[in-house]
Amino acid sequence: MELRSQGIKDTNVLKAIETTPREIFVSNGFEDQAYENRALSIGLGQTISQPQIVAVMTQALQLHDRHKVLEIGTGSGYQAAILSCLCRRLYTIERHKPLLDIAERRFEHLGLRNITSIAGDGMQGWIEQAPFERIIVTAAAKYSVPPALMEQLAVGGLLVIPIERASGEQVLRLYKKEGDKTYAMKDLMPTRFVPLLPDVANMMEA
């Protein structure tokens, strides 16, 4: 009901959130806060996004069960679990291998068989599996979408990503690829995400 009051109207998105147990995606000690509308730490400087942001980003993608989706930033695996309820196949990339290992165990526990995950540089996308009808990025890119991601988005596809402006403020932005070199964009809401970084993280970043 809270998400409905915040403008989430897609019943499939609401059902996916309702049926996905968020408490198994939070770190030990945070279980009692799992259903509060707030971001929570999952370690290694990363967070699980608040339910409202997850719902807004998911609804913006206009998913159906024939879509192949790329997620940049697996994190806890919560957003991936929501997406997997709504698409044909999800490919997800995480630069922190310890977080990915935990997320993969959660996918196995929930029996989510349509998720394929790797540790890698999300800014480079997943060229071997491109093109994707939908792409979602759960970390903030500086000023613009990484070129590789826009190249790997199918014509007619949608991409949702937080963008950091020159002022340092972030905005959640939706892109639609209208041609090989053309796209439309729409700002959805102000937001705050961890930065999108290149390469695979090393333990010195913990």
Residues marked as catalytic: 49
36: CB partners within 8 A, 6+ apart: 50
